[in-house]
Structures are given as structure tokens and as C-alpha cells.
Amino acid sequence: MLKDIITNASLMVSFIFTIGLFYNRRKIDYPRTFRERACWGLMYAFFGCLLMLFSIRATDTVIVDLRQLAIVMAAMHGGWVAAVISASGILLFRMFYFGVTDAAIVAGGFTVLIGVVCGLLSLTSLGPFRKLNLMNVVAAAIATTAMWINIGDAEIVRRFALYIWPTQLAAGAAVYCIARFVITANVTHNRLMRNERELSETATMLHILMDNIPSGIMVESEQRKIIYVNREFTRMFGIDVEPDKLIGSDCSGWLSSQKHIYAEPEQFISRTEQMINDKTPVKIEIFELSDGRIFQRDYIPIVMDGEYAGHMWEYTDITDAKLAEKRLQEANTVLKRLSEVDGLTGLANRRSLDAELQFEWETCRRRRQPLSVLMLDVDHFKLYNDTYGHLKGDECLRKIAETLEACLNQPEDFAARYGGEEFAALLPFTAREDAVKIARRIRKRIEALRIPHESSPTSNVVTVSIGVYTVVPRDDLEPLHVMNRADSALYAAKYEGRNTVYASDVATRK
């Protein structure tokens, strides 16, 4: 008898584990809808029927088993709906399998009563363990009452009760604990599966993202083993293998085997080793490849739990950006030059003259050296334009500018178009006597060009008047001082009859 009762209890435990395996990839949850509760009721009804297959025959018409424990578990898990359905299912199986007898009718009625009472107890606010024990006691009491009615022999009933009660109470507690364990394990298992699935999805998304960013990424371990490279990295460095094939490769060896692609391989490898040893993040380091491409790389040391775990490199092809930057610089240089050069004559313009004057003034002031300025004006140039036209006038100014620039001796000498038909020349470190000699040379060479000027009252060829002024810059003077004095000398040269060089009180046509 004891063996059969223990077999019933063992079947109950096995059933709980079977449910756990059935829900291995699904979450075990307490049913909420009527349909879910009904399903659990049918499941426990099936289990109660299974227990009856291993029942003990007390008499020819009376069988004893732990079917009421299945009803108790149905009530604990699915509430009153599951309890009543499981009890009803067990009743029908009892009638169908063992036949319709008076004992079957009594047992079936009390089975339904167990379902109803346990269903009502499931609605109480008692704690789970106390509720289980109460259901177990009530179910065992009702089952004992049914057995008493059917058997009518007190000794037989007492003997069966001595086995059934302790076994049912112990099995109920054990089944409850196992069920809690199975549910907890199921929840943990499903949480781990969900986390694993989310991690896999995140890894897939990260892999897709890394493969589609416009930068080459390489991650290596602290031991210089390649952990990850993306597709852009292999494309940038011309590696004709799938990125996954590089994982596990020795990065140092790979770097040495690829040294031919760098414009300065030894410097690149040495710098790489230095960054790895320093373990300090590096931003925007630019290097050139042997094919002319220009790359930028960033280095990030990987730190985990306060310890260095590896290295991450990000490479970006900035060749187009650098070419665009170079073109922009060239364009800016051209624009700057155009903003400083007179478009007609090619000499520096007034803006450049002012900047150069300031520079040379400060230089000569610090060195206490003389600074000479020549102011040059084309004689009767308005009459020249009226006679020969503006195109000829422009050509005349270009020839005068070429002659003026050719007559300057030193690299630091500076010629500019001052405005209209006026020109200027800065002669740093040049004394007045030397400046006068240069002015005379300029006047003579322009006259020697023999550019016709029939309407000029001064000469039948184009001539110029030149004013010369020399000063040693001092703190109490401004650069404008020398320009004003040179301009006054120019007007004095015109007053002296034009085609003249005038310096202070010296006027000459020599």
C-alpha cells in the first residue's frame, strides 16, 4: 500500500517537472483569462486521471489514490475555474474507466465537492503556503469521508488514513515547493533567454552599424590579437579577405607585413608602438600612404574594471578633405594676392603699400636706419588719355610700372601703384643721396622709353616727376609723415617744371 501511495506522490512530482520542461521556452505565468484557467484545469484533470491508473483497490468497487492533490494544485494555480474543471474531468474518467457504481457515484460527488471547496478557498486572502495546507487538509478530510461511506469498515478506513494523510500533506508541501522552484527556474531561464536574445540583437545591430560607418575600425586585445575589424577597414587598407578571417591574427605581425603601404613605414610603426605603450587617447593623428592617400587615425585604450584590456583604432580617409583644404588655401592665396595687387600694372596696390610702409617703418626705427620714399607722377597724363585714349593710357602705365620695378636695387625695395597715374617706392636702409640716384635713373629710363606724348607741354614723350624724402624713423613720428613729405616733394618737382626729381631743396633733371 505504502509503495503505491509513494508512487502516486512521485508521479505528482514528475508531473510538475514535466510542466517545467513543457514551458522550457515559454513563460510560466498564473492564468488570467477564463480560457487559460480552463486549460490548466484540463491539464490537472489529466494528471488526476493518471494517478487513478496507479490507485490502490480497497475493495472491489473502492479505489484509493491522491487524485485530490491534483485538484488542490489546480486550485492553487488556476483558481476556482481550474479546480472545478479538474474535479469534473476526474469524475468523468472515474465513471468511464472504472464503471458506474454506487461507490463511483459517491466518490465522484465528493471529488466535485473537493473542487468546489478548494476553488472557494483559492479566493481567500491567506498566504500561499497556509492556503495550500488548508486545502490539503480539507481535501484529505473529504476524501476520507467518501472512503468511510463507501467502505463502512472503520479498521480499513483507519489503516488507509494512516498512510494517505501524512503522504498527502508531505507530498502537497513538496509539490508546492517544487512548483515554486520550477516557476522560479522558468522565470530565470526565460529572463536569461530574453537577455541573450536582446544581446544577440544588439550585437547584430552593432555589427551592422560598425560595418556601415565611413571609418575603418580595428580592436585588438592587450596581447595585440585582433578582436574585431569592420568592412571599411579592409577596404581602406586593400585587404582582400573577409573581416572575420582577421580575428585572432597577431596585430604586430600584420602591421609589419603591411608596412609597404605607408609613406614613412618605420615612423608609423614606431609611433603606433609608442601610443600603445603610453596608453593615452590620441585624437586626429594624420599620416600619408605610399599611394598618396591621407588618413587620420584616433587611438582609444580600452579600460575594463580599472585595467587595460585592449586598444581601439579608428581610421578615416581624409584625402578628399585635404585636397579641398589645399585648393581652398591656394584660392585664398590667390584672393589675398589679388587684394594686394593692382590689377592693371601688376604692382602692389595702395593697401599693400600701407602695410609694407608700417613694417619697414618699424624695422628702420628699431635699427635706426634711414627710410626713403619716392612719389612718382606721370606728367600731363590726362592730356595723354584725351589724345590717345584710355587703352593706350593703360598700356603706358604698365610700361612705367615695369620700368619702375626694374630700377629698384635691393630685394627689400618695394614698388606700388599709389592711385591713378601716381606710383610710390619704399627704399629701406637707403640714404637720401642713394634715393636721389635711383629716382634719377627711373626718370631717365621712363623718358628713354620714348612713348609719344604730342599734347604734353613739357616734352613730346611721356615723362614723370618724382618727389624724394628720407627720414630715420623716430618714436615721435608716424609713417604717414614720410608719405606726406614725399608727396610735398612731388608737388615741388611739378612746380619746378615737371620731368624733375625733387628731394628736399634739391631739384634736378640729371
Q: Which residues are catalytic?
A: 421
Pairing of strands 294-304, 307-317: antiparallel
Q: How far is CA 495 from the centre of its chain?
A: 76
Q: How far is CA 185 from CA 44, 174, 191, 213, 267, in A?
A: 21, 16, 10, 41, 58
SS3 286: strand
- Asked if 301 contacts 281 with a C-beta cutoff of 8 angstroms, the reply is yes
Query: Which run of H or of E encompasses 366?
Result: helix 350-367
What backbone phi and psi angles, to 5 degrees, belong to 145?
-60, -45
- Asked if 36 contacts 87 with a C-beta cutoff of 8 angstroms, the reply is no
- For residue 458, which of 416, 496, 506 has the smallest C-alpha distance? 496
SS3 9: helix
- For residue 301, which of 272, 343, 322 has the smallest C-alpha distance? 272
CA angle 58, 64, 69 (to 5 degrees): 170
CA distance 442 to 189: 100
SS3 348: strand
Amino acid at 314: E
**DSSP-derived secondary structure letter, 452:** B
- Asked if 256 contacts 269 with a C-beta cutoff of 8 angstroms, the reply is yes
Residues 6+ apart with CB under 8 A from 54: 4, 7, 8, 11, 65
* 483, 489, 495, 499: CA torsion to nearest 10: -100
